[in-house]
Amino acid sequence: MDRLHTVGDDLSGNAPAGDPATAWQRRRDDYRVVGPLNRRKFSVIVVGTGLAGAGAAAALAELGYHVHAFTFHDAPRRAHSVAAQGGINAMRARKIDNDSIRRFVTDTVKGGDFRGREADAFRLAEESMRVIDHLNAIGAPFAREYGGALATRSFGGVQVSRTYYTRGQTGQQLQIAASQALLRQVAAGNVTLHTRQEMLDLIVADGRAQGIVVRDLVTGQIGAQTAHAVVLATGGYGTVFYQSTLARNSNATAAWRAHRRGAYLASPSFVQFHPTALPVSAPWQSKTTLMSESLRNDGRIWVPRTAGDDRPPGQIPEDERDYYLERKYPTYGNLTPRDVASRAAREQIESGHGVGPLRNSVYLDFADALARLGRPTLAARYGNLFTMYRDTTGEDPYQVPMRIAPAAHFTMGGLWTDYNQMSSIPGLFVGGEAGWGYHGANRLGANSLLSACVDGWFTLPYSVPDYLAGLLGEPVLAANDEAVRATAADVHARIDALTSIGGTTGPGLFHRELGAILYEGCGVSRSAASLTRALERIDELSARFWSDLRVVGGTGAFNQELERAGRVADFLELAHLMCLDALDRDESCGAHFRTEHQTPDGEALRDDADWCFASAWETRPDGSAVRHREMLEFTATELATRNYR
């Protein structure tokens, strides 16, 4: 195919040379530190108050730095980390089931189909033990065994029990604990909390990140905040698909604006489709609902063996059911990784075996578990999830199987960072799902909450001070500096451009159409033909957006249509780069499944000779794309074809 981009220089991940198992300890030993009396001379901006942002802000403030924490929510505890349900992984090996750091790393690297940085996976494993102890200490109410030890359960892609949980509301409980730690620092005067403030641009001066421009979502006022360093912990961009498991307000603007200021974006096409979401039930539906992967511990997934069988599930006998995950992957069964389970479900649905009114789902059945364990045990494990399902669908999962289907969920792609969590812009650090670290081409369940906590509590509090140590004596950028005024002027100009179009179509309709394009062209599976067509359609949609957008209301007050318009404008640009990245990566790996590249039995076929690297994209001011790469090496985990059979 003709190149739609140019190829740039190779990047260094800056991980310490040598054994990746000891890289993190050696790097911590080499980090510079800032003395206690000098810490109050530095200020740090943290954007986002989820687990990564709240953890980083609280930890840095506890150390003595002054932190400005920004959130577009009315309170930090409303950040989207609350939505993660199933649990958080940790290699504490309390189950005596032969878990270990090496096994954790192997599972994570293999689960990501060898497209992540191996040294990152070792750090994730090593710090996971501290994370659980820390969260337990600050009040997370983890489930416990009868004797008081913290309980665990299994998740997909893993054959040991390493997932700690608080029923089906783990993210919510961890977020409450992290928010309380943050608010403790607010009360102590070490954190200045800015609520209902949306970051609209990054201030770059003298070649480094020195502040942000924000819009007050209540008054509409544009303002700026400067600091010695900026941390972005603003979550993933799964809502680019419109119908996703994410909250409707989740968006990509902060990360994308940083990208347009020079921060590289890594592997944007690596998007995870969660296999355990509720199916779309009507054309007017605005999002999908997530059912925790933990349900796959006790629920069995099946479809009728005969295509088009529309009998109620209770009338279909056992010998006429296809428990297809157990049939295809007997070793892992219903706990296959999410990308594998999603593709298998999509295969069943598209071959005519789908169930439900729209025939767009598969069954997740708890009949066997009810007979084996009893209702009280299932209620203790998943009661709130069963209640949520009943309230959403009107069906009782104690009586009939759940109906589930793949839906856009987690983004493994994100702003590229080196081993120190710093982006290609000096002074701009990234934490949590806004970054690309740890997960490669597919995230294992329960590694999301873990990676956010490791970044926030145990990585950024080491790496940010190392950067700040080189700025001792440097003042914070003045509020009237030319770079501040120029960036704020750019924000005003962009808002004026959106509101002056005067078209007939609201931003929501453009967003819905964009999501349909992406699901069709860059979804669970994709091909050169589908991606090429998607790029053409996105460009056509973008042209219509900028000629027919209607934004009602003014700019100087609360205006959610203006918020949506700005986010959709960024989604259109991001979607183009996602499809370009997917078209460029001429292989299959993890959740990036190119139909041209599959094994005879339908599994992803990697090309390690040509594509064993992370793509890091640069978008230049003229809109042209440049693809850089970070070569990936695996010394502790041998490159191998994934096998979950």
Secondary structure of 200-226 as H, E, C letters: EEEEEECCEEEEEEEEECCCCCEEEEE
The domain spanning residue 289 has which CATH number? 3.90.700.10
CB 467 within 8 A of CB 34: no
pLDDT value, residue 167: 87
Q: Is the same domain home to 221 and 256? A: yes
Q: Is the same domain home to 297 and 430? A: no
Spatial distance between the Cα atoms of 186 and 292, rounded to a whole number of angstroms? 33
List all residues 6 or more positions away from 398 whose beta carbon is below 8 Å from its beta carbon: 366, 370, 375, 378, 386
Beta bridge partners of residue 549, listed in sequence order = 505
Residue with tokens 């969260």: 135
CB 367 within 8 A of CB 359: no
Q: Is the same domain home to 361 and 428? A: no
Q: Is the same domain home to 304 and 193? A: no
107-128: pLDDT as tens digits: 999 999 999 999 999 999 999 9
The H or E element spanning position 178 is helix 170-187
Q: Is the dihedral of CA 455, 128, 338, 176 positive or negative?
A: negative
In a domain, 88, yes or no: yes
**Structural domain containing residue 333:** 277-409
pLDDT value, residue 95: 86
% of the chain with per-residue pLDDT over 90: 98
422-457: pLDDT as tens digits: 999 999 999 999 999 999 999 999 999 999 999 999
pLDDT value, residue 583: 98
In a domain, 91, yes or no: yes
The arithmetic mean of pLDDT across residues 264-270, rounded, is: 98
Beta bridge partners of residue 414, listed in sequence order = 266
In a domain, 615, yes or no: no
Q: Distances from the Cα of 621 to the Cαs of 242, 262, 331, 502, in angstroms?
A: 27, 9, 50, 26
User: Which of 409, 435, 462 corresponds to the end of one domain?
Assistant: 409
In a domain, 317, yes or no: yes
**629 three-state secondary structure:** strand
Tell me the pLDDT band of 184, cut-offs 50, 70 and 90.
Answer: very high
Global pTM reads 0.97
DSSP string, 106-129: HHHHHHTTT-S-HHHHHHHHHHHH
Q: Is the same domain home to 311 and 179? A: no
Cα(first)–Cα(last) distance of the chain, in Å?
35
Q: Distances from the Cα of 335 to the Cαs of 323, 341, 410, 640, in angstroms?
A: 13, 8, 18, 20
The domain spanning residue 602 has which CATH number? 1.20.58.100
524: amino acid identity, one letter: V
Q: Is the same domain home to 302 and 231? A: no
Residue with tokens 């999962």: 397
- 204 backbone φψ class: left, alpha, beta (φ>0; ψ -120 to 50): beta
CB 186 within 8 A of CB 68: no
Residues with a known catalytic role: 338
pLDDT value, residue 96: 87
Q: Is the same domain home to 126 and 218? A: yes
Tell me the pLDDT band of 289, cut-offs 50, 70 and 90.
Answer: very high
Beta bridge partners of residue 193, listed in sequence order = 69
Q: Is the same domain home to 252 and 293? A: no
Spatial distance between the Cα atoms of 55 and 46, rounded to a whole number of angstroms? 10
Spatial distance between the Cα atoms of 135 and 453, rounded to a whole number of angstroms? 9
* DSSP one-letter code for 261: T
Q: Is the same domain home to 69 and 201? A: yes
- From the list 306, 294, 402, the residue with the least C-alpha distance to 348 is 306
Q: Distances from the Cα of 642 to the Cαs of 82, 156, 585, 639, in angstroms?
A: 32, 14, 19, 9
pLDDT value, residue 94: 84
